[in-house]
Amino acid sequence: MRAIRGIQLIADERWARLAWTCISEPESTSTRDWIARHGPSASFRALLDGDLVADGRYDARLEALDLEGAVRALERHQIRILIPSDPEWPSGVDDLSEPPVALYVKGAPDLGGLLEESIAIVGSRAATSYGLRVATELASGLADRGVTVVSGAAFGIDAAAHRGALAVDAPTVAVLACGLDRPYPAAHAGLIAQIAQTGAVVSELPTGFAPQRHRFLSRNRLIATLTVGTVVVEANLRSGSLNTAKHARDHLRHHAMVPGPVTSQMSAGCHEWIRVHGSNLVTNARDVLDVMGRLGVDVSDLRRAPETVIDGLSETDRAVWASVPIRGGAGLDALARATGMAAMPLMSSLGRLGVHGLVLREGDKWRRPTPRRKAPMAQAEA
């Protein structure tokens, strides 16, 4: 057996899983199968004894493995490691064909509880001002209604979503594609620290691991399955947020889009997704909850324009009202010709319209009131 510092720790499943995360990448099918067949501790010992692989694929990482140092690093950075048997383990990730071997968490003491009612908001890094505003308002609206907003702490839409939740003093969860000791992007170190104070920062990678492209793609599957649904706010044709939407769809989660103008390249991916796959279109937190919220509780009525007095008129009165001119007025004979009505019912209709203020009588003529114009902003404020 190889000489590894702290090798005795792998007798405990928690530290055995830590050891596996230190030598294998996320979404490793072989690691998944070995752990399922032999358990974390026995499979790791079998690896060290040379009974699992003979191609040397893990040699370099095993040579550098220091389990005692890895445990101390977690303590130093106040990071805890979750394993599937822990009560706060988020069960959503178990739907993955290659679920995480372990999860590293900084922040909230009950990650599973925090994620019970959660929705992911993701999108373009190079977001427009429109996209940033929409993401912020969506996140604030959802967080205000008790929903935990989950995203990836990246530039653009991700950061806007986190800040929207923090703006209403609500917890939010950031899922990173690197070890939690090296927040990425570095420019968001302050934001990530703030997220950890009120919510949680999560990764399936141990300390010391750098962000790499394939790890972002693996991270996206976690964002999709930790939550009940994913909302994409702006995405270009190559946006990784569409990968998150794909994972959400493939794992039977809700997915929704907030596309921008058809002329915006930042929204080309959303429009193409809608054209090819179909998706729910949402405009605000109420729409999102109507799709992803509690059945029968968060449902929203169809939007309708505000009703006016005219909407409540009978067909006859509406026809008379439409025949009355705004300027100059019209006499009874002219209105009778315009409406095809006899004098008595026409007078009755004009009387009802007058009660509602929809027509004015001036001598022997009737006219509609002149529509009011909105005052200029400066006058309105004065």
Full pLDDT tens readout for the chain, 382 residues: 456 777 889 999 999 999 999 999 999 999 999 999 999 999 999 998 888 887 888 889 998 999 999 999 999 999 999 999 999 999 999 999 999 999 999 998 999 999 999 999 999 999 999 999 999 999 999 999 999 999 999 999 999 999 999 999 999 999 999 999 999 999 999 999 999 999 999 999 999 999 998 999 999 999 999 999 999 999 999 888 999 999 999 999 999 999 888 888 889 999 999 999 988 999 999 999 988 975 444 555 566 667 778 888 899 999 999 999 988 889 999 999 999 999 999 999 999 998 988 999 998 899 998 876 654 444 333 3
Domain that holds residue 33: 7-73
Q: What pLDDT is stored for residue 381 in this prediction?
A: 36
Count of structural domains, the chain = 3
Residues 148 and 266 in one domain: yes
What confidence score (pLDDT) does residue 2 get? 57
Q: What's the pLDDT score for residue 305? A: 63
The whole-angstrom separation of Cα 92 and Cα 257 is: 22
The predicted structure's pLDDT at residue 260: 85
Are 198 and 163 in a shared domain?
yes
Are 118 and 263 in the same domain?
yes
Domain assignment present for residue 80? The answer is: no
d(C-alpha 186, C-alpha 21), whole Å: 23
33 in any annotated domain: yes
What tokens were used for 305?
A: 């324009």
* CATH number of the domain that residue 357 is part of: 1.10.10.10
Of the candidates 73, 107, 131, which is a domain's last residue?
Answer: 73
pLDDT at residue number 380 = 36
Q: How far apart are the first and last CA of the chain?
A: 84
277 lies in the same domain as 210: yes
What CA–CA distances, in Å, run from 73 to 21, 36, 82, 209, 379?
Answer: 14, 27, 15, 12, 64
Cα(303)–Cα(315) distance, rounded to whole angstroms?
24
* Same-domain status, 171 and 273: yes
Tokens of 338: 């315009």
Please report the pLDDT score of residue 309 as a whole number: 82
Asked if residue 179 and residue 153 are part of one domain, the reply reads: yes
CA dist., res. 292 & res. 118, Å (int):
9
Distances (CA, A) of 183 to 105, 179, 365, 379: 13, 7, 77, 51
Token digits of residue 8:
């005795």
Same structural domain for residues 247 and 327?
no
The CATH number of the domain holding residue 152 is 3.40.50.450
Same domain, 280 and 317: no
User: Is position 114 within any domain?
Assistant: yes
Instruction: Tell me the residue length of the chain.
Output: 382
> 277 and 145 in one domain?
yes
Instruction: Give me the DSSP letters along 323-378.
Output: HS-SSS-EEHHHHHHHHT--HHHHHHHHHHHHHTTS-EEETTEEEPPPPPPPPPHH
Calpha distance 227→225 (Å, rounded): 5
Residues 129 and 273 in one domain: yes
Check whether residue 163 and residue 276 sit in a common domain: yes
The vertex-197 CA angle with 194 and 202, nearest 5°, equals 85
Cβ neighbours around 251 below 10 Å, total = 15
Same-domain check for residues 37 and 69: yes
